[in-house]
Chain A
Amino acid sequence: MKEATWVQNVIKEAEYDHYMIGGKDFIDDDKIWEKIEKNKSPEPARIRSIIQKSFNLELLSPDETAALLNVKDPHLWDEIFDAAGKIKRKVYDNRIVTFAPLYCSNFCVNNCLYCGFRSDNKDEKRLKLTLDDVRRETEVLAGKIGHKRLIVVYGEHPVSDVNYMADTIRTIYDVKVKARKGIGEIRRVNVNAAPMSVEDLRILKDVGVGTYQVFQETYHHKTYSEVHPAGTLKANYQWRLYSMHRALEAGIDDVAIGALFGLYDWKFEVMGLLYHAIELEKQFGIGPHTVSFPRLEEAQNVAFDTLKYKVSDEDFKKLVAVLRLSIPYTGMILTAREPARVRREVLPIGITQTDASTKIGIGAYSEIYGADKMSEKADQDLGKQQFMIGDPRDLDDVVRELAQMGYITSFCTAGYRCGRTGTNIMTLLKTEKEGQFCKLNAILTFREWLDDFASDETKKIGEELIKKEIAEVKSRMPKIYSEKTVSKLENYHERIKNGERDLYF
């Protein structure tokens, strides 16, 4: 199909019109600014009571989030950071889930002013992985690095339509690689792709996608129009805004939202994400599975002033903490866009997922790992990737550092393989039960990874961590775990040590 014809058939207005009220979507720009203004000088007592509400794992109201965003006292901010970390542990325990992105194609019909994939960037080398390429990339990711979870990324273009996506996902799931003691395989494929129709989303659902992720980029209507030129698919704000509504209609019940910080005022974007979560809960009873908050990074041939709304490291930390408090149950993703220094500082205030050994060039894993590993930022080729990665460290390095910081890396993918999805997982999250599952599955999947992929140095530290984690599980008996649970955990742990794989709670 010709590109122009394909483009004309993508957007189905009837699939979002019915959610709008009086022709308006659920993001009211003026109202957001009013809330931010109205809550300009919050009293410390009010902030502390809002923090308390977050501890009850309730979604905050827009006024409450606006109040948090307006805190000026550094000591009060310290209380917020501290609470954010505690809430994360309350919901998810001390586990951090890791994943890797796999960029499958960079052909794109859009022309977003801030993006290296924009159609006007003629210096970008346009590439699309063949299914053999996808297999080779997955062999590296699953067989050499040891990832169990991917997020696959596609440009919006007829060459990477939903059928191509489905083929690549099937290919990824089929790859099995012999590791030291077990088998390397990808067990959960999440998708970051353009907004799709319900019909296309059903194809994704049928192939077994994990989470479907679409970032609104900016929730501010005017800025959205300015950075997504008219006449392109992405120019349609509402088509994008209601992506998750369509995904949930199609039966994909793990949905992920995000904003690209740096396009507009960061406080406004935090409010936009909160309104998005409120809307999803209202319509479907299911909030976002994860929230992402990437900061705009250097990219090739962009046509956007990246300094105007640049988010400082200090404000970045604040926005992460406010998001954690505002949507206390949600997963929060901090990516390798951020340098190691920032990751170390921000991780303790509410992060649940991060990536490592990250490559975002098309075909970069098999290329780079076939030759020399990329270890320096300067080694990145902006002509083949969307933006610049800030932390190119290997998974082994990241896992070891996390262990030293007291976190256990989890490769768990259990939930969507036994129906802990949708309203089920939302209930578990809001009642602090999901974290108890996380702990058990983190131990088991960490054991697998240590035996199959870890360096000697990481393994040594990891063994100590596993001992500590098992002791913690035992200490929660009988209040949380039964004897049966502990005995099952020990049984599974031993069996994994002896080479069995994919045992989970």
Chain B
Amino acid sequence: MEKEIFTSEFEKVANTYDIKLWVAEKLGRRWSYVMGGGNEKFLPASLIGKIDNYGVFVEGENYNAQEILKNVEEILSKFRNIQKG
């Protein structure tokens, strides 16, 4: 349920930069999807940064990775707070 609440926040960021944006959790060699938003671009996914155990993936072009990371960090911070209760 918490993830659904944050989907709209990811959508907002994704739409701002016209990208598809998602976070995935690193599990060994595997990146397991956690949450995200934005329309499909059919472009290679770029791992633009890591926040704790989460990787931030972007499909798109001409975006500012640092700004996106900052936005995602804020969303993840709220997500963690809700999880902690």
Contact A482 B42 (CB under 8 A): yes
Q: Give residues 9-48 of B contacting A (CB, 8 Å).
A: 22-25, 27-34, 36, 40-45, 47
Produce 1/0 per residue, A404-440, CB < 8 A to B: 0000000000001111111111001000010011001
Q: Does residue B61 face the partner (Cβ distance < 8 Å to A)? A: yes
Q: In the bound complex, do residue B45 and residue A419 qualify as a contact, i.e. CB atoms below 8 Å apart?
A: yes
User: How many angstroms from the CA of A488 to the CA of B43 in the assembled complex?
Assistant: 8
The docked-state distance in angstroms from the alpha carbon of A488 to that of B46 is 13
Known: A418-B24, A418-B57, A419-B24. A485 touches B29 (CB 8 A): no
Asked whether A253 lies within 8 Å of B42 as measured between CB atoms, the reply is: no
Asked if B30 contacts A417 (CB within 8 A), the reply is: yes
Report Cα–Cα, A229/B83, bound state, in Å: 44
Known: A424-B36, A488-B44. A251 touches B27 (CB 8 A): yes
- Chain B residues with CB below 8 A from A209, complex form: 28, 30
A256 to chain B, nearest CB (A): 15
A261 within 8 A of B: no
B48–chain A nearest beta-carbon distance, Å = 12
User: Which residues of chain A have C-beta atoms less than 8 A from B55's C-beta?
Assistant: 419
A313 close to B (CB within 8 Å): no
| Bound complex: CA A492 to CA B43 (Å) | 12
Q: How many positions in chain A have a CB within 8 Å of any CB in the partner chain? A: 34
CB contact between A206 and one of B24, B27, B43, B44 (< 8 Å): that residue: B27
Chain B hits for A207, CB < 8 A: 28-29
Complex interface residues of chain A between 50 and 92 (CB less than 8 A to chain B): none
Question: Is the Cβ of A419 less than 8 Å from the Cβ of B31?
Answer: yes
**Least CB distance, B75 to chain A, in whole angstroms:** 16
Contacts of A481 in B (CB 8 A): 42
The reply to whether B44 and A253 form a contact with Cβ atoms under 8 Å apart is: no
Residues of B within 8 A of A422 (CB): 32-33
Q: Which of B22, B28, B30 counts the most A-chain CB atoms under 10 A from its CB?
A: B30
Docked-complex contact A428 and B40, CB < 8 angstroms? yes
B32 CB to nearest chain A CB (Å): 5
Q: Is the CB of A208 within 8 A of B27?
A: yes
Chain B residues, CB < 8 A from A251: 25, 27, 32
Measured CB to CB, the residues of A under 8 A from B are 173, 205-210, 251, 253, 416-425, 428, 433, 436-437, 440, 480-482, 484-485, 488, 492, 503-505
Given contacts A421-B24, A484-B41, could you give 20 more A-B pairs where the C-beta distance is less than 8 Å?
A: A206-B27, A208-B28, A209-B30, A251-B25, A253-B33, A416-B32, A419-B34, A419-B55, A421-B32, A422-B32, A424-B22, A424-B33, A428-B40, A436-B40, A436-B42, A480-B42, A481-B42, A482-B42, A482-B43, A505-B43
8 tightest Cβ-Cβ pairs between the two chains A and B: A419-B24, A208-B28, A208-B29, A424-B33, A418-B45, A419-B31, A419-B33, A485-B42
- The 25 sampled A-B contact pairs (Cβ below 8 Å) are A173-B29, A205-B28, A209-B28, A251-B27, A251-B32, A253-B32, A253-B33, A416-B32, A419-B24, A419-B33, A419-B55, A420-B33, A421-B31, A421-B32, A422-B32, A422-B33, A424-B36, A425-B33, A428-B40, A481-B42, A482-B41, A482-B42, A488-B44, A492-B44, A504-B44
